[in-house]
Structure 1
Amino acid sequence: MESRRAIEWSEAAWLNPPEAVLAEGSNLLVTARKGSDFWRTTSYGFVHDDGHALLTDFPPESALEVGFVVAFDELYDQAGLLVRVDEETWVKAGIEFTDGVPHLGSVVTHGRSDWSLAPVADWAGREVTIRVSRSGDALTMRARCEDEPWQLFRVAPLDPAATAAAGPFTCAPTRDGLTVRFTSFVVTTPDEALHLD
């Protein structure tokens, strides 16, 4: 049976505090610093570990969901859910703006980062929820736009013994002034199977 609990923004702690944070009702408006990002080495040759993430404990056999509005219009504007073990072991799952449209994607990092993307042009300007389930040795990543069905977009390994934290993140690698409206932060039970139907 599924259990769900809203996480108060104040229950979590910032990794790399952002430029500004404003509570507006149940929403949290987060303004990223220019140049902020999470990335390690691959293709670009640089390491960035200064993106903004509001993290809480993420134990095995649990799931977290983060909702936000996709109001992105500059290269690499991004937001979603970050899972972090340490500076060399982390996953970011969310929406990133590239090639003129928002893309659903993830970066999985075990020493070096990878990157996977798929365009979701019709999600622009709408509320998206990212869900990451931690079960066994895997992170299962799903997303949905508003009340549309969940889409599975990535399964990645994570050591079951690892101590991890997770929560909403945002980065603005190329510009000033990116403010993301986060609408929800929820802990729930993990998905029971890869295929929900």
Structure 2
Amino acid sequence: MPWADGRWLNPPADVREDGTGLVVTTREGSDFWRTTSYGFVHDDGHALLSPFPPGTAVEVSFVADFPELYDQAGVLVRADAENWIKAGIERSDGAPQLGAVVTHGTSDWSLAPVPEWTGREVTVRVSRAGDAVTVRARCGGEPWRMVRLAWLDPAADAHAGPFCCSPLHDGLRVRFTRLATGPADASLH
């Protein structure tokens, strides 16, 4: 899928095409989060979004080093400012973590450490079927890992695509290497 098919929600500090990839540099304080535990709302992360109708899937591949706490990149699925899902890699507890945040009014957060994925190409896949979004991820040619099964209103007019954020600094650089769409996954496992 061509990068030009998407529209930026909160344009980043810099975007440039690099061969077939897209290099994105974040703005300071960029994030997606609603209320839980921290008490703040951030809806200023960078996301390149395209329509995500029921029965489809989106895959995003990327490479980044994630040097600072909460640096993150992956896929954002967005219905509106209060209903969205982000999944990918985020730096927390001193290491890259594979995780997801699901937001329906307030955000939740789940993580699992993947230090061996540092600096390698990661692919995150979101698949929309019925009232569910299935999130999977892998590094290189490894098998897919199930990350999350999350509810999304089947009538929602949703959009999805690559996202990145750096809540505590500016200048996180993420090289997105692939954006693809296709049919939703046939089964959960």
TM-score (norm. length: structure 1): 0.95
Matched, 1:117 2:111: yes
Letter in 1 for 2:61: G
| Structure 1, 79-88 or 67-76: larger mean CA deviation | 67-76
CA contact 2:64–2:173 (8 Å) conserved in 1: no
Matched, 1:79 2:73: yes
Q: 1:123-150 deviations in whole A, cap 9, x for unaligned?
A: 0010000000000110000000000000
CA contact 1:73–1:100 (8 Å) conserved in 2: no
Matched, 1:38 2:32: yes
Per-residue deviation, 1:70: 3.2
Q: Which one of 121, 127, 147 corresponds to residue 121 of structure 2?
A: 127
CA contact 1:107–1:114 (8 Å) conserved in 2: yes
Q: Percent identity?
A: 65
1:186: which partner in 2? 180
Distance in 1 (alpha carbons) for counterparts of 2:16 and 2:94: 28
Matched, 1:19 2:10: no
1:168: which partner in 2? 162
Per-residue deviation, 1:191: 1.1
Matched, 1:91 2:98: no
2:95: which partner in 1? 101
TM-score (norm. length: structure 2): 0.99
CA contact 1:30–1:181 (8 Å) conserved in 2: yes
Q: 1:67-113 deviations in whole A, cap 9, x for unaligned?
A: 00131111000000000000000000110011111000000000000
CA contact 1:70–1:123 (8 Å) conserved in 2: no
Please give the secondary structure, in 2, of the residue aligned with 1:122.
helix
Matched, 1:146 2:147: no
Please give the secondary structure, in 2, of the residue aligned with 1:67.
strand
Distance in 1 (alpha carbons) for counterparts of 2:9 and 2:40: 20
* Runs of 4+ that moved beyond 6 A: none
1:49: which partner in 2? 43
